[in-house]
Amino acid sequence: MNRADLCAALERHFGYRAFRPGQAELIEAVLAGRDALGVLATGSGKSLCYQLPALLLNGVCVVVSPLIALMEDQVAALRARGFRGVTALHSGLDPAERRRREERLFAGAYRLVYVSPERLVQPAFAQRLARAGVSLFVVDEAHCISQWGHEFRPDYLRLGQVVHALGRPPTLALTATAPPPVQEDIVAVLKMRDPVRVILPVNRDNLAFDCVPVEGEAQKQAVLAERLARLAGPGIVYVATREAAEAFCTWFSRRDGRPAAYFHGGMPADERARILEQFRAGELFVVFATNAFGMGIDKPDVRFVLHAHAPASLEAYVQEAGRAGRDGAPAYACLLYDRADLALQQRLVVSEYPAEGALVPLLARLRAQGEGAACLDEVDDPEMRHLSAVVAQLELTGAMAYDPATGTWTWQDAKADLDGLAKQVARRLRARRADRLRRLRALAAWAEGEGCRRAALDRYFGSPGGEKPAACCWACGVDWTAYADAAGAASWGKRTAPMGWRQRLAQLLPVTPAAT
């Protein structure tokens, strides 16, 4: 299929006139039966790289994705576009529903299926899938494969065997952030053969990177207040903790009538869904959020992303800042950089790992229980907070089988030597922690470094430098007032009082009520 046919297919199925950078190269590679690795910034249309081939190839396109929520979002988004032959298989389904979907899958009813890794590594499942005919094997968020990746997931390590079991279909690995060592890990683990590599600049040239050094909360609030008062929305303010998200939102709402909300992982799922819905609909000027706000935001016209606290790594920063300006129009990212916040991040990192002395009793409890769920509801037991981190490492040592999607685990060897195991786990956790702290230092070095900061990002991520835009970075000079709202704050209006239930119901369901 030549480029013109490909463009025609793109317009027919997705309504786009042209490919975004990198998409066509990756699609052509997999259509030609080759392996490919794509490092494409968030929002640059990664998913299209397999969605279009899924429609054009015979057989089913299998996409491995780490998060249930992400899978269901993608399925919903595709269905919303009228793409019906798509489903997701993961442990969040009840057994009957999963069976139903699997039977339809093996009967050839789907062109595209999202699967969680733990389902795929089950040999019987992979065999049936291979018989059904896999057209393309896609690993999304492929940096999770690498121990050096900032979101390493043990279950991704086995995907190399899965490719083999599926009969070696063309393999496409996609990620938004992967420094060169991570790229090498991905290629090695997936045993990719001479893959086509498309590595795009991690930063888009319509996004200006700004950074304001601050000291203390008062100064930070002053800068934040100034920016929020004038910047054109909608935007996101990222903070490090749930409490901070709520507190900043309250702070903002007291001084500004424009609609704002907070968003974090400690909120009921239905409320999070409503915030996303309002944000998508353009009803919110700003969302104060933890890093939980990200997955499932598919909003092209975010105009600014401010970081009131430094995030945990440069990878995280680029991913979060990159949520601004996906539509290609000018957008503004600003890091409010307070060294004290690094200490906060450092504490957060350290608090995610158990004290080494606590490991033996914790392992003893896990072994005694034999199996269970790594839930965070053990309010009275501080050690249980570390359960998922410990269990993930235990899985690597083979002592335990772990299903990250449901958090359930099974102890494998009742006679294992707990002291030795604890030492092993402690060593692994120390390495993980050191790695996390190294990433945090890389962020600090970036924020405090000299010379063009955009070029520094490209160096760190090993991506080719693009052309230097006029609004580049704070080292080259950025005028943030250029991103001010010309219409002024008034364009957002105030939140109006909710209407009465009868009126709202009539608007929701504008039909003549049936007589009952």
- Residues forming contacts to Zn ion in the complex (CB under 5 A) are 452, 454, 472-473, 476
Q: Which amino acid is at 431?
A: A
Identify the three-state secondary structure at position 235.
strand
Residue 420 lies near another protein (rule: CB under 8 A)? no
Residue of 188, 329, 376, 445 that binds another protein (CB under 8 A): 376
Residue of 69, 132, 223, 348 that binds another protein (CB under 8 A): 69
Contact partner at residue 472 from another protein, Zn ion, none, CB < 5 to 8 Å by partner kind: Zn ion
Cα within 13 Å of Cα(83), Cβ side: 21
Residue 464 lies near another protein (rule: CB under 8 A)? no
Element (H, E) at 39: strand 36-39
Question: Would you state the structure tokens that stand for residue 410, as one six-digit string?
Answer: 């099974």
In the range 123-162, which residues lie near another protein by CB under 8 A? none
Residue 500 lies near another protein (rule: CB under 8 A)? yes
Other beta carbons within 10 angstroms of residue 281's beta carbon come to 9
Contact partner at residue 473 from Zn ion, another protein, none, CB < 5 to 8 Å by partner kind: Zn ion
Contact partner at residue 262 from Zn ion, another protein, none, CB < 5 to 8 Å by partner kind: another protein
Contact partner at residue 452 from another protein, Zn ion, none, CB < 5 to 8 Å by partner kind: Zn ion
Residue of 5, 11, 97, 413 that binds another protein (CB under 8 A): 97
How many whole angstroms separate alpha carbon 53 and alpha carbon 26? Answer: 10
Query: CA of 107: how far to CAs of 52, 62, 102, 104, 279, in Å?
Result: 21, 15, 8, 5, 39
Bridge partner residues of 137 (DSSP):
62, 171
Residue of 191, 280, 365, 423 that binds another protein (CB under 8 A): 280
User: Considering beta carbons, is residue 381 or 479 the nearer one to another protein?
Assistant: 381
Which are the contacts of 287, defined by CB distance < 8 A and separation ≥ 6? Answer: 234, 235, 236, 237, 260, 261, 262, 263, 275, 279, 293
Q: Look at residues 276, 250, 253, 254 and name the one whose alpha carbon lies nearest to residue 263.
A: 276
Minimum distance, C-beta of residue 119 to another protein, in the bound complex (Å): 15
Q: Look at residues 232, 240, 227, 237 and name the one whose alpha carbon lies nearest to residue 261.
A: 237
Minimum distance, C-beta of residue 472 to another protein, in the bound complex (Å): 35
Question: Would you state the structure tokens that stand for residue 33, as one six-digit string?
Answer: 């039966």
Minimum distance, C-beta of residue 212 to Zn ion, in the bound complex (Å): 16
Residue 408 and residue 373 in contact, taking contact as beta carbons nearer than 8 Å? yes
Residue 15 lies near another protein (rule: CB under 8 A)? no
List interacting residues with another protein (CB under 8 A).
Answer: 69, 72, 76-77, 80-82, 92-94, 97, 242, 253, 261-262, 265-271, 273-275, 277-278, 280-281, 283, 376-381, 495, 497-498, 500-502, 504-516
